[in-house]
């Protein structure tokens, strides 16, 4: 349960994903998708190139995914499905931008 049972010690925002790495001498808490992915890639020396420009390209896509994808998908889903009042402009705007980024 993310809202109780001490989970706030792992993620002070009480959100998932979050993890605790107890494989070393001192436990390490990691929360938020991007920091978890970066932490694991660096820890295991996998999936994150060490040489440029491949490293820059990989990090660019990682940070794009963290900043843009959830906002666009969540915004579209909210206005299209959950908003109590359907706002055509908002639906069209999020749909257009989501489609543009997925193309």
Measured between alpha carbons, how far is residue 91 from residues 18, 57, 82 in Å?
A: 31, 31, 11
Each residue's pLDDT tens digit, 43-75: 999 999 999 999 999 999 999 888 887 788 888
Task: Please determine, for residue 3, whether its predicted confidence score (pLDDT) is greater than 80.
Answer: no
In the chain, which residues fall in CATH 1.20.1050.10? Answer: 52-102
pLDDT for 48 equals 96
Each residue's pLDDT tens digit, 69-80: 778 888 889 999
Task: Please determine, for residue 1, whether its predicted confidence score (pLDDT) is greater than 70.
Answer: no
In the chain, which residues fall in CATH 3.40.30.10? Answer: 1-48
DSSP single-letter state for residue 49:
-
Task: Please determine, for residue 101, whether its predicted confidence score (pLDDT) is greater than 90.
Answer: no
pTM assigned to the model:
0.74
**Per-residue tokens: 2:** 């993310």
The CATH code belonging to domain 1-48 is: 3.40.30.10
**Exposed / middle / buried, residue 94 (Cβ in 10 Å: 0-12, 13-18, 19+):** buried
Task: Please determine, for residue 24, whether its predicted confidence score (pLDDT) is greater than 90.
Answer: yes
Q: Does domain 52-102 have CATH number 1.20.1050.10?
A: yes
């Amino acid at each position: 349960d993310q809202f109780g049972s001490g989970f706030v010690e792992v993620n002070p925002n009480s959100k998932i994903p979050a993890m605790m790495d107890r494989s070393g001498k001192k436990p390490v808490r990691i929360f938020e998708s991007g920091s978890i992915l970066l932490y694991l890639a660096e820890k295991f020396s996998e999936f994150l190139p060490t040489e440029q420009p491949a490293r820059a390209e990989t990090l660019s896509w990682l940070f794009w995914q963290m900043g843009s994808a959830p906002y666009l998908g969540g915004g579209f889903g909210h206005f299209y499905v959950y908003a109590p009042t359907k706002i055509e402009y908002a639906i069209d705007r999020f749909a257009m931008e989501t489609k543009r980024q997925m193309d």
